[in-house]
Structure 1
Amino acid sequence: MASSASPAASAHPINVRAAVLDLLRAFGMTTIFGNPGSTELPLFLDFPDDFRYILGLQESVVVGMADGYAQATRNAAFVNLHSAAGVGHAMGSIFTAHKNRTPMVITAGQQARSILPFEPFLFSAQATELPKPYVKWSCEPARAEDVPLAIARGYYIAMQPPRGPVLISVPADDWARPCEPVLPRTVSTESRVQPDLLAQIGAALDASRRPAFVVGAAVDRDGAWDDVVRLAERHQAAVWVAPMSGRCGFPEDHPLFAGFLPAMREKIVGLLTGHDLVFALGAAAFTYHVEGFGPHAPPGAQVVQLIDDPNIAAWAPVGTAAVGSIRQGVADLLARPAPPRREAPRPRVPAPRAEPGAPLSVAYVLQTLAELRDPDSIVVEEAPSARPVMHRYLPILRSETFYTMCSGGLGYGLPAAVGVALGKSGRKVIGLVGDGSSMYSIQALWSAAQLGLPITFIVLNNRRYAALQEFAPTFGFGSGDPLVGTALPDLDFVSIALGHGCEAARVSDASALRETLATALRMRVPTVVEIEVA
Structure 2
Amino acid sequence: MGTVRDVTRDLLRELGLTTVFGNPGTTEIPFLTGWPGDFRYVLGLQESVAVAMADGYAQAGRRPVLVNLHSAGGVGHGLGHVFTAYRNRTPMIVLAGQQVRSLLPGEPFLGATDATTFPRPYVKWACEPARAEDVPAALAHAFHVSTQHPQGPTFVSVPADDWDTETLPVPVRPRISGFAPDPGAIEELTAALGNCQRPGIVVGPAVDADDAVDDLVRLAERLDAGVWASPMSSRCSFPEDHPLFLGFLHPERRALARALAAHDLVLVLGAPAFTYHVHRGEPETSLPPLFLISDDEQILARAPQGLGIRSTPRLAIRHLCDRLPQSRRTPPASMPRPAKPEATVPISPSFVYSVLAGTLPGNAIVVEEAPSHRTALHEHLPITARDTGFLTVASGTLGYGLPAAIGAALARPERRVVAVIGDGSAMYSIQALWTAAQEHVPVTFVIMDNSQYAAVRILGEAIGGEKLPGVDLHGIDFVAIAGALGCRTHQVTEPDELSSALTAALADDQPNLIHIRVDPNPQTLY
| TM interval, short-chain normalised | over 0.9
Q: Deviations over 1:104-130 (max 9, x none)?
A: 111110000011111110110010000
In structure 1, which of residues 496, 505, 511 is the aligned counterpart of residue 490 of structure 2?
Answer: 505
Match of 1:105 in 2: 93
SS at match of 2:149: coil
* 1:372-451 to 2 correspondences below 5 Å: 372-399=359-386, 400-451=388-439
Q: Which residue of 1 aligns with 2:329?
A: 342
Alpha-carbon shift at residue 523 of structure 1 (Å): 1.3
Does the 8 A contact of 1:427 with 1:454 survive in 2? Answer: no
Aligned mates of 2:153, 2:280 — CA distance in 1: 31
Cα distance in 1 between the residues matched to 2:119 and 2:346: 44
CA distance in 2, matches of 1:33, 1:106: 10
Q: SS of the counterpart of 1:53?
A: strand
Matches of 1:300 and 1:453 in 2, distance apart?
46
Query: Per-residue CA shift, 1:364-420, capped at 9, x if unaligned?
Result: 111001001112111011110111110000110012111111111111101100100
2: CA distance, partners of 1:43 / 1:514: 47
Name the aligned partner's letter for residue 532 of structure 1.
R
Counterpart CA distance in 1 for 2:324 and 2:485 is 58
The alignment status of 1:307 with 2:307, answered yes or no, reads no
Report if aligned partners of 2:57, 2:407 keep a CA contact under 8 Å in 1.
yes
Distance 1:300 1:523, change over 3 A: closer
Q: 1:334 is matched by which residue type in structure 2?
A: C
Mapped contact 2:260–2:287 kept (Cα < 8 A)? no
Give the equivalent residue in structure 1 for 2:277.
Answer: 289
Q: What is residue 255 of structure 1 aligned with on the other side?
A: 243
115, 118, 121: which is aligned to 1:133?
A: 121
Contact 2:257/2:287 (8 A) holds in 1: no
- 2:226 aligned to which of 229, 238, 242: 238
In 2, the alpha carbon distance for the partners of 1:362 and 1:340 equals: 40
SS of structure 1 residue aligned to 2:117: coil
1:155-184 deviations in whole A, cap 9, x for unaligned?
000000000000000000000100111110
Check the 8 A contact 2:403/2:432 in 1, yes or no: yes
Separation in 2 of the partners of 1:112 and 1:63? 24
Which residue of the partner structure matches residue 71 of structure 1?
Answer: 59
User: CA shift at 1:248, angstroms?
Assistant: 0.3
Aligned partner of 1:488 among 448, 452, 473:
473
Does the Cα contact within 8 Å between 2:190 and 2:324 map onto a contact in 1?
no
Deviation at 1:292, TM superposition (A): 5.1
Cα distance between partner residues in 2 of 1:469 and 1:292: 18
Alignment deviations for residues 274-332 of structure 1 (CA, whole Å, 9 cap, x no partner):
21011111111111112354359x54721111111110100011111111110000000
Q: Secondary structure at the match of 1:42?
A: helix
* 2: CA distance, partners of 1:178 / 1:211: 61
Native 8 Å contact 1:76 1:159 kept in 2: yes
Cα 1:340/1:456, change in 2 over 3 Å: closer
- From the superposition, tell whether residues 299 and 118 of structure 1 become closer, same or farther in structure 2 (CA, over 3 Å): closer
- TM-score (norm: length of structure 1): 0.95
SS at match of 1:379: strand
Letter in 1 for 2:118: L
State the Cα deviation string for residues 54-105 of structure 1 (Å, max 9, x = none).
Answer: 0000000000010011112222101100000000000100000000000011
Contact map agreement 2:98 2:158 (CA 8 A) in 1: yes
Report the AA paired with residue 467 of structure 2: P
Give aligned-pair identity as a percent.
48
Alignment: residue pair count: 518
* 4+ long deviations beyond 4 Å: none
Counterpart for residue 525 of structure 1: 510
Q: CA RMSD in A?
A: 1.2
- 1:203 is displaced (CA, Å) by 1.4
- Partner Cα distance (1:243, 1:417) in 2: 22
Deviation per residue, 1:418-458 (Å, 9 max, x gap): 10000002321101100000011111100000000010000
Which amino acid is 1:316 matched to? Answer: A
Contact 1:242–1:261 (Cα < 8 Å) also in 2: yes
Q: Aligned equivalents of 2:59 and 2:335: distance in 1?
A: 30
Q: How does 1:21-170 map to 2 (within 5 A)?
A: 21-170=9-158
What amino acid sits opposite 1:384 in the alignment? Answer: P
1:203 alignment counterpart? 191
What residue in structure 1 maps to residue 522 of structure 2?
Answer: none
Deviation string, structure 1 residues 210-269 (Cα, Å, up to 9, x no partner) = 111110000100011001011111111111100111100001001111000110011100
**What residue identity is the alignment partner of 1:486?**
V
Q: In structure 1, what is the Cα distance between the partners aligned to 2:243 and 2:189?
A: 24
Tell me, in whole angstroms, the C-alpha distance in 2 between the residues paired with 1:290 and 1:117: 47
- 3-state SS, counterpart of residue 448 of structure 1: helix
Corresponding position: 1:327 with 2:314? yes
1:339 shift after superposition: 4.9
CA contact (8 A) 1:276 1:300 kept: no
SS at match of 1:335: helix
CA contact (8 A) 2:253 2:281 kept: yes
Partner Cα distance (2:441, 2:163) in 1: 33
**What is the alpha-carbon distance in structure 1 between the residues aligned to residue 306 and residue 323 of structure 2?**
22
* Distance in 1 of aligned mates of 2:375 and 2:35: 46
* Closer, same or farther: CA 514–186 of 1 in aligned 2, 3 Å: closer
The residue matched to 1:341 in structure 2 has which SS?
Answer: coil
Q: TM-score, normalised by structure 2?
A: 0.97
Q: Which amino acid in structure 2 is aligned with residue 58 of structure 1?
A: Q
